[in-house]
Structure 1
């Protein structure tokens, strides 16, 4: 009995002591606000499935609130808003969100840096771009989370484009760097809010769009206001990323960081097959746009101009030169590898 009494007493005291030493504290749910570059129809594919999956698995621990293009801040102010902590995370390319880094010019569509969508993740994961992006964004208090590829860049226009001459004077909605490159062919780049593009084409403010492939043209409604799709492209894949405010990211426990990585990877994978299949299917079966093509020998003028453009960019800084050299090495390797990596 004595032993039993001592056990009960000591066990009870221990339990009380444990409860006093470590009271149960209800942890508050982590909430992030993430704004994407994409409007609602496009976001349904390029980001929403991954965010929905993240929130489902994270449960009571964390929720990412998703906002669409320009919903909280204009796309051109995304970087500053994230840097300040006004929003917690962003899905965009560097170019569109006007990030003040040495690598900004390479986001979105850097002319002819890629031919296929798989080129982008290989460049980041196997050729060293991840490390360069991480270093550049760490300098400005932002975490570069993960890069991936989207669709190729084609012209969707009201009038047919069958030669370089047809591009002259065309007012086109496109990305900053792509626009800078295309001006030498007479294209007039126009910057407008994403949601205004369809109406701007209808009213004649724009003659066309060089912002996407044919999948997005159909998904967001641009195929309804343009008549022609140029099969030549100035880049094989849009390069974009997920970013986060550095402090907010570092506050996350390790298992939520890992879950975030898995969600981003699932987003990248979804886009790989959605765009790759969609581009082909809509060229073959899409009823809304007529395909046009500039002959290869004439389009070679644009490809050669891109290489000169690369050298111009490389001359601007050591970091830019490093990135351009990676592009050159990668593309040389792909040509040497031959089919299916490069055809001619």
Structure 2
């Protein structure tokens, strides 16, 4: 490059610099560097489980969002106890949550349907169908629209709810007096059969089983039992379940959600859907594989005729919940209509 060309390039650069300085001086409020948006999101899950139920989707979000936004993922009780997550999010202590309405004590009437509402679902696909084709999405948006500070974003399915225990369960009598770690509404229902629900931080559950504080767990399916290590301390797995899929959701602090540009909102929605999809096949395949090939746990069952007592009692429980509010009654009607349709459709939607 000649000296003349060098000088010409320098003058062009200098001119651009001067123009930029002038623009900054004239319109300072409108021109400033954008810093990376940072969120703190806490999940209900411990580290081993979070590797599957949320981390892949958050890693993908951070990779695509790059310098525009980064989400820091925290595990069960790491920043805030699970039961206080809703209030912490409402205050802005944390920006987003992955959990169920029931566990985080969401102050809405429909919170009882989060987690494991007894026999509301048979299979994991029931949850997205209920939300996206039968009207639950609109009801959830309505309920959370009445609460300041928190925006409900999306619901998806997890695993079924089984008992894993220190002693075998082969009849309803074996449930009596069992101290079991479970979800609030599930515990409320199971207490009708003599189960004693126990609330503990998630990370303390395994030790509590080992020390005798707990007799068992009704918190998951067999995939989670093996993934988080509970299969090593609870050698028996009951094949009967009280729900075919856990219903969990994503929530965000309303102000923080509103501040996001539209492209980041859409990216977050895509990553939530990615998380929902991953769990569909991870759990479905795992539940079958570990029943057949798992070596830690012996399978036990309560005879179908005897278990029907539990299913019949669940219908009474549904009616009690429906009586608590008009909105709860709308949800219960949807569940009844949906399950009636599935039964009429027959195999593979409902068997028997």
Fold shared, TM-score > 0.5 on shorter chain = yes
Separation in 2, partners of 1:339, 1:86: 47
List alignment gaps of at least 5 residues for structure 1: 1-11
Q: Is the 8 A contact 1:83 1:140 kept in 2?
A: no
1:336 Cα deviation from its structure 2 partner: 1.2
Aligned equivalent of 1:228: 236
Correspondence for 1:313: 321
The number of equivalent residue pairs is 335
For residue 25 of structure 1, report the CA deviation from its aligned partner. Answer: 2.5
The answer on whether the counterparts of 1:148 and 1:241 sit within 8 Å (CA) in structure 2 is yes
Q: CA deviation at 1:117?
A: 0.1
Q: Look up the match of 1:116.
A: 123
Q: Is the 1:170–1:188 contact (alpha carbons within 8 Å) kept by the matching residues of 2? A: yes
Q: How does 1:6-21 map to 2 (within 5 A)?
A: 16=19, 19-20=23-24
1:159 to 160, 164, 167: 167
Aligned to 1:135: 142
Query: 2:105 aligned to 80, 98, 108, which one?
Result: 98
Is structure 2 residue 35 aligned with structure 1 residue 32?
Answer: no
Any residues of structure 2 matched to 1:1-344 within 5 Å, and which? 16=19, 19-20=23-24, 25-141=32-148, 142-344=150-352
Q: Which runs of 4+ in 1 moved over 2 A?
A: 15-25
Distance 1:98 1:42 in 2: 22
| Separation in 2, partners of 1:123, 1:72 | 32
- 1:134-188 Cα deviation digits (max 9, x unpaired): 1111211211111000000000000000000111110000000000001111101
> What is the CA distance between 1:26 and its match in structure 2?
1.5
Cα distance in structure 2, aligned partners of 1:326 and 1:22: 56
TM-score when normalising by structure 2: 0.92
Q: How far apart in 1 are the matches of 2:157 and 2:184?
A: 18
Any idea what SS the aligned residue of 1:71 has?
coil
Q: Distance in 2 between matches of 1:204 and 1:170?
A: 11
* CA shift for structure 1 position 22: 6.1
Point out where structure 2 has 5 or more consecutive residues left out of the alignment: 1-14
Q: CA RMSD in A?
A: 1.8
Deviations 1:233-277 (CA, angstroms, capped at 9, x unpaired): 000000000000111101000000000000000000000000000
Measured against aligned partners, the alpha-carbon deviations of 1:215-242 in whole angstroms (never above 9, x if no partner) come to 0001111001001000000000000000
For 2:10, the equivalent position in structure 1 comes to none
Deviation at 1:16, TM superposition (A): 3.4
TM-score, length-scaled by structure 1: 0.94
